[in-house]
Amino acid sequence: MAGATRLIVWLFCFGWAGLSLPVSAAPFAEVQQFLGRYCADCHAGTDAEGGLAVETLTVETARTTDRATWVRVLNQLRGRAMPPDDAAQPSDTDRQMLEAWITQVALKADCSGGERPGRVTIRRLNRQEYDNTIRDLFGVDLQVARTFPHDDVGYGFDSIGDVLSVSPVLFERYVDAAEEIVRTVIASNDVDAAETQQLKGETLGRTGQFVRDTEISSAGDYLLRVEAWGDQAGPQPCLMLVGMDGRPIKKVPVPNGPGDAIDYEFQLKLEAGKHQFGVAFLNDFFLAAEQNGGKKLDRNLHIDAVELIGPIGGPPENPPEFHQRFFDPPIDREATIESQTDAAMHLLNPLASRAFRRRATVTDIEGLGDIFRLARRNGEPIERATQLAIAAVLVSPSFLFRLEADPEQGQVRELNDFELASRLSYFLWSSMPDDELFRAAARGELHTADQLVSQARRMLRDERVTALVENFAGQWLQLRALEEFFPSRKHFPAFDSDLRRAMRRETELFFATIIAEDRSILEFLDADYTFVNERLAKHYGIPDIETADFQKVGLAGGRRGGLLGQASILAVTSNPTRTNPVKRGKWILETLFGSPPPEPPAGVPQLAEAGTSQLTGTLRERMEQHRADPACATCHKMLDPLGFGLENYDAIGSWRDHEGSFPIDASGELPDGKKFSGPAELRALLLDRADDFRRCFAEKMLTYALGRGLEYYDACAIERIVANCRAGDDRFAVVIEEIVKSPAFQQRESGGQE
């Protein structure tokens, strides 16, 4: 079954009405009467608005295939967005009746059969996961995935299996990246990597020669590469003789002409010291024009470049750290190719096992041995043959994809310990399992909830958990959009790249502290501390901070607190020239409470900027004039009050009491009638809806952990996570622990189940 976008978030997280509900739900017949009376004018038939035809809704499908539709209805009902203001309105009693039926019947989770695990689409590593995995596999942070195409996003994250496809361009990048990686971590004196001396070429216009002196520091095998072509004339091609130290090496014809230079290569064995290379042109030919009917014939030899490459095939000097660890013990250079292959397979086995996140099979290792053997037979040195085998590991589906076999049709299976290790490591670290986690999987110590929780607690204390901050928080909070926020220099001359970096760092440190200190997730809504350096403290008006290093500071006075007081969030929800209460209200509903408002109708005009003749006054006054349009009022009644509560912050997060000469009005009234004035009172109202935030946060985190959108049957897992989070003082680790204990995390369904 296809995932329903933000389904579980809407299911549990939306709620601003606070209406008192009847004890029991009304019969479905009354629901049908309500829909027919107030909704059918627009939502019926084949051309129903929004694709919602109320006559197709049934009580039998309410909890499954129609659940997303009922979430939409509840969303509109609670926000009093529907019916529109110019249509007949139901009474509060009727609204309560419909809301009661939706929440108690259509959206009531049936957990009597336990939690269903669902099925995750097999997916590739995204760019960040690829780079992190390479870093942890080889011990070098190369960031090669920067050349890959950008990852697609689904359900708010770029780690969703349904959208992580592999294009031909991406596969080409994988091949190129593998070559770059292996040449970095394994040193090789093959032809393409060995030291190259460039010697000057020359044109030989008559029979003759030229010589070049050179000096080499190491004895060994060398390759002499001569790039040559000829002016062809007469019955023979140009004839070139190549020599070294006064002795001929080889005489070769050069039949290629202008624009077709060819590399002629010669294998040499040289001692350390001084050497002299020479080229001779052996068969000059010339025929004057008057001797050839007016056309001159002149044979000449052109040497465009000469390269002396080597030594080739010997042990490289000062190899990188991974190289030294890998070749322990070293492969015997004097052994037969078969013996060398056996030794290489022994060395490749642990690397392939770590790269594949499971024990490498006999077939896996034999295939890598075949690559090594073939390269050696083709004359490649041991190190280059090893590079090619490791490159094969890096383009293998077992490396690029997180593979999990489906059970038999209609069945559920427990994931094995290696699969669980990968799920856990990519969830918390966006990378492969470390040695401790891999060893635990090999010993069969990851198949119980207690074992998974123990490892999760350890991993949350590891510095690699910064990946959860960068990748989960960066996408959940939309911090990545900060890099694309460029406020007007005219309106905000103080903004610069240092401030942008400080804004993002504040939020990252705030999130990281909640993880590291296992603090309450409700601090995302309202915390009495934050992190600033001198640049950001000046921006906020916080005194006595005189260092570029960030430090934790207490907040007093109610001006700031939680995410909504941080400049990163305030900036990404603003326009380049002004604040945007609609964006800010939408961010709160969508990001913190998982209840995005409906999309605006087509053709709705944009709000005019200040200084135009269309709308006048403060931004709030201009928006109120904008809302006078019935097409605009529906959405704005949900969005504007929340956004207005943040109007004391300008577009880059500075505090202000006036907009120009007009005092700021940061008051608002929610659809349920609750009123507030200013950011502090708004945060207090948000804390009143703590359960809504818990559910929203749990749904976001579960989506990220699983790599799939949530389905109706995931409601039971969400309810359990929320209940245990509440009972556990809302500690961050509780959410993580409850996720890894869930069947959705530990099991896998077959495909095609409803």
710-740 burial, b if ≥16 CB within 10 A, otherwise e? bbbbbbbbbbbbbeebeebebbbbbbbbbbb
- Residues 149-183 pLDDT 10s: 999 999 999 999 999 999 999 999 999 999 999 99
Q: Is the pLDDT of residue 608 over 60?
A: no
Q: Is the pLDDT of residue 641 over 80?
A: yes
Q: Do 400 and 170 meet the contact criterion of CB atoms below 8 Å apart?
A: no
State what percent of residues in the chain have pLDDT above 70. 90
Q: Is the pLDDT of residue 611 over 60?
A: no
User: Which tokens go with 398?
Assistant: 């077992």
Q: Do 302 and 203 meet the contact criterion of CB atoms below 8 Å apart?
A: yes
* pLDDT for the residue numbered 35: 85
* pLDDT for the residue numbered 23: 42
* pLDDT for the residue numbered 753: 62
Rounded to 10 degrees, the C-alpha dihedral 268/271/273/275 comes to -30
User: Which tokens go with 477?
Assistant: 């909070």
Give the position of tokens 């099991």: 747
Confidence of residue 27 (pLDDT cuts 50, 70, 90): confident
- Residues 252-272 pLDDT 10s: 999 999 999 999 999 999 999
For residue 348, CA distances in Å to 131, 357, 363, 463, 664 come to 21, 14, 13, 28, 67
In the predicted model, what is the mean pLDDT of the chain? Answer: 89
Q: Do 312 and 191 meet the contact criterion of CB atoms below 8 Å apart?
A: yes
* pLDDT for the residue numbered 97: 87
* pLDDT for the residue numbered 509: 98
**Whether CATH 1.10.4030.10 fits 196-312:** no
Confidence of residue 77 (pLDDT cuts 50, 70, 90): confident
Residue range(s) of every CATH 2.60.120.260 domain in the chain: 196-312
Confidence of residue 283 (pLDDT cuts 50, 70, 90): very high
The average pLDDT across 599-621 equals 57
* pLDDT for the residue numbered 496: 96
The average pLDDT across 78-100 equals 80
Cα–Cα distance measured from residue 271 to residue 215, given in angstroms and rounded to the nearest whole number: 10
Q: For residue 474, give the amino acid letter.
A: G
* pLDDT for the residue numbered 629: 59
Cis, bond preceding 320 (omega within 30 deg of 0): no
The sign of the torsion formed by the CA atoms of 35, 37, 39, 45 equals: positive
Greatest mean pLDDT range, 203-212, 285-294, 561-570, 639-648: 561-570
> Which residue, 550, 476, 562, 470, is CA-closest to 506?
550
Selected residue with higher pLDDT from 56 and 342: 342
* pLDDT for the residue numbered 16: 33
Confidence of residue 741 (pLDDT cuts 50, 70, 90): very high
Q: Do 637 and 671 meet the contact criterion of CB atoms below 8 Å apart?
A: yes
The average pLDDT across 704-725 equals 94
Beta strands (DSSP E) in 712-753 are 747-749
The average pLDDT across 723-751 equals 96
Confidence of residue 225 (pLDDT cuts 50, 70, 90): very high
DSSP assignments along 669-692, one per residue: E-TTS-EEESHHHHHHHHHHTHHH
Q: Is the pLDDT of residue 5 over 70?
A: no
Cα–Cα distance measured from residue 239 to residue 160, given in angstroms and rounded to the nearest whole number: 63
Confidence of residue 632 (pLDDT cuts 50, 70, 90): low
* pLDDT for the residue numbered 10: 34
Confidence of residue 602 (pLDDT cuts 50, 70, 90): low
Cα–Cα distance measured from residue 681 to residue 585, given in angstroms and rounded to the nearest whole number: 15
Q: Is the pLDDT of residue 14 over 60?
A: no
Determine which helix (DSSP H) or strand (DSSP E) holds 351, and give its type and residue range: helix 337-356
Cα–Cα distance measured from residue 219 to residue 550, given in angstroms and rounded to the nearest whole number: 55
* pLDDT for the residue numbered 673: 83
Cα–Cα distance measured from residue 76 to residue 96, given in angstroms and rounded to the nearest whole number: 13
- Give me the count of residues in the chain: 754
* pLDDT for the residue numbered 56: 85
R_g of the chain computed on alpha carbons: 35
Cα–Cα distance measured from residue 419 to residue 434, given in angstroms and rounded to the nearest whole number: 14
Determine which helix (DSSP H) or strand (DSSP E) holds 270, and give its type and residue range: strand 262-270
Q: Is the pLDDT of residue 11 over 50?
A: no
Cα–Cα distance measured from residue 735 to residue 116, given in angstroms and rounded to the nearest whole number: 18
pTM attached to this predicted model: 0.85
Confidence of residue 603 (pLDDT cuts 50, 70, 90): low
Comparing 1-5, 376-380, 712-716, the range with the smallest average pLDDT is 1-5
Cis, bond preceding 168 (omega within 30 deg of 0): no
- Residues 674-710 pLDDT 10s: 999 999 999 999 999 999 999 999 999 999 999 999 9
